[in-house]
Structure 1
């Protein structure tokens, strides 16, 4: 392995990327993301679309603000963190910087995984984004979704692929816990996470079969790119994948969280999943024999009801109350959470979600009270920085 792909994982580090909507004070997404990034770039906090297209260096260990597919979005990334308190502080800091940049051009940011109000998404300028629009047509033109991606360090690609093969059965539970996109462009979708349904339309998205080893993983990525269908390897949208740039596993199934605390809980769960899977690999524990077709159904179920209905239990493949499935996840991760000192914090965070509901449930409560989808956006903008 090249040196950049090796890592010391005595304490696994964590980084979080969040995509945010840029909205006006009235509660409508506005195409001011590039203008906000101009402000951030002058402050040394991010990249303009032009700088990003040229391969800027904002991404890395120190945090960043960068463009996303649509002008109504921007993306933040934390610095590399070794404990969850750092993740919390980093997310609050970078959400604040993103909001300050947006306010400088007359807007705000809102941690919403889809737009509650109807809006025409506008593409961010750039050659790569242009190729995506040209290649995928309406699929790319409609895509205005915001996810949360959690990176966790691994020793090398062999350990990373062993982790990917073992965490895949638990990823739908993370979708359910993070659900924050019930409305889609002016209508109630009927889903808790409609972002996950929209995202599944990309041809390379979703659950994959076990890769077996690093060579098998890289061979599959090469084969997908060789089809000439996806734009590049960055468009390999597996539910979890190896980072192209860093020695990390990247878990991509979550909606962006309204509350920083929920994003921190997600980061703790993902790190514990990686730790647990790596220990299983070293102990010779077999990869769970669950087909990708079953996992896609489990992911659909998680996106449909979030934590308010049954989920597909990863151990039985049968429906079970969400609280029971989440409890099984915490039991599975118990030793890893104990080893990092995160057990109580993560358990409390999960309990809070189950008690008060996901972001999707909060959005619907605001809408029932006000009858106004713009009020949902305004409430989300307030909670983004709370």
Structure 2
């Protein structure tokens, strides 16, 4: 793939009560306020969430500016609507049930999936990268499978949940795995095989439509892109930019391998799922499974270094190598969202400290 592919990012955010810290059903009001400033916020399954969507971006620097702008407007719109915006993948404290946004489609989802839908107050980040066609998207998905758990560990941001430490760096990914069409995808030999699997899930009622195919990486249902969905919503703009930059470089590396006639490694689903679970549990400061080596456990930070080395030619071509190395070094040194959540929690065991930590980094780095 000779050209530099464009990219776009979707970020989901929580709306909480500024006084009590619990999720608050204000998504329609927040969206209306943001619209007055020219930003179209998307409504999510629960009415305690909103989503920002960037324009199509050509560079990491432009993406940083766009994410900062969108997060800033969404934060102001939330405040104007009596809510507080949090970049956290799970609310630290939760209601018994999350109210579902009253649209026809979301009502159908709630009816079919019951409590799974009503406990869906979780926030992820979706990175789109342009690819030539759906066959290319399938190849890229296969190539990324052994690296998805590393990206999850990097951006884990849901350690504190239900007023306690969940025992996981990304408990969002554990809750998310209850959907029958979620998690690491199978290895597919073609777009036709992918389509057959999607059709089976829809016939079985495990998904209403293509938009409910929630695998961690997939051909986009709406755009000519491959969509990587494995991540918690990162705590900071800088972490989101790093994630998107690494994914774009990964897509370019996968396409180069495809053009050279190289097949993606075919690993068993159980291996991929084990690595995914371990990344969710242990996060950035734990060990991960060396899926492309001897299947032993090694520090996640070592796996991240290997990924950057693997995609280095693409990062250099994009002019992003020094930035990516620098940002990765900073995240490793200072901690990601999960580490900062736990650091705040351990000070006094107070949810207010966790919320203050999260709120302070929504717009800043």
Band the TM-score falls in, shorter-chain normalisation: over 0.9
**What is residue 202 of structure 2 aligned with on the other side?**
225
Which residue in the other structure is 1:74 paired with?
50
State the match for 2:236 in structure 1: 259
- In the other structure, the counterpart of 1:55 is none
Task: Choose which of 67, 70, 86 in structure 2 pairs with 1:110.
Answer: 86
Give the whole-Å Cα distance in 1 for the aligned partners of 2:5 and 2:206. Answer: 35
What value does the CA root-mean-square deviation take over the aligned residues?
A: 1.4
Rounded to whole Å, the distance in 1 between the matches of 2:148 and 2:118 is 27
TM-score (norm 2): 0.96
Deviation at 1:40, TM superposition (A): 2.4
Superposition deviation, residue 185 in structure 1: 2.3
Alpha-carbon distance, 1:117 to partner: 1.6
The corresponding residue for 2:118 is 141
Counterpart pick for 1:25 among 18, 26, 31: 18
The reply to whether residue 371 of structure 1 matches residue 349 of structure 2 is yes
* Corresponding residue of 2:189: 212
Between 220-229 and 175-184, report the one with greater CA deviation.
220-229
Cα separation, 2, equivalents of 1:356 and 1:100: 27
Unpaired segments ≥5 residues, structure 2:
none
Shift of 1:135: 0.8
Counterpart residue number, 1:40: 34
Residues 9 and 151 of structure 1, relative CA distance in 2, 3 Å threshold: farther
**Structure 2 counterparts to residues 313-324 of structure 1, below 5 A:** 313-316=290-293, 317-324=295-302
Which of 337, 349, 358 aligns to 2:315? It is 337
Listed one character per residue, the Cα deviations across residues 289-312 of structure 1 (whole Å, up to 9, x for unaligned) are: 211111011000000000111101
What is the CA-CA distance between 1:375 and the residue it aligns to? Answer: 2.4
- With structure 1 as the length reference, what TM-score do the two structures score? 0.91
Whether the aligned pair in 2 keeps the contact of 1:32 and 1:105 (CA below 8 Å) is yes
Residue 42 of structure 1, CA deviation: 4.1
CA displacement at 1:203 relative to structure 2: 0.5
SS at match of 2:52: strand
Q: Deviations over 1:86-110 (max 9, x none)?
A: 1100100000111121111111211
SS in 2 for 1:306: helix
Rounded Cα–Cα distance in structure 2 between residues aligned with 1:303 and 1:24: 27
Q: 2-side partners of 1:125 and 1:257: how far apart?
A: 27
Structure 1 distance, partners of 2:205, 2:115, is 19
Of the three residues 350, 361, 364, the one matched with 1:383 is 361
* SS state at 1:250 partner: strand
The aligned counterpart of 1:308 is: 285
Whether the 8 Å CA contact 2:127–2:229 is kept in 1: the answer is yes
Q: CA deviation at 1:219?
A: 2.2
Task: Give CA deviations for 1:243-279 in whole Å, capped at 9, x if unaligned.
Answer: 1111100000001011100000000110011001111
1:93 to 69, 72, 75: 69
State which of 164, 175, 193 in structure 2 corresponds to 1:198. Answer: 175
Are the aligned partners of 1:133 and 1:140 in contact in 2 as well (CA < 8 Å)? yes
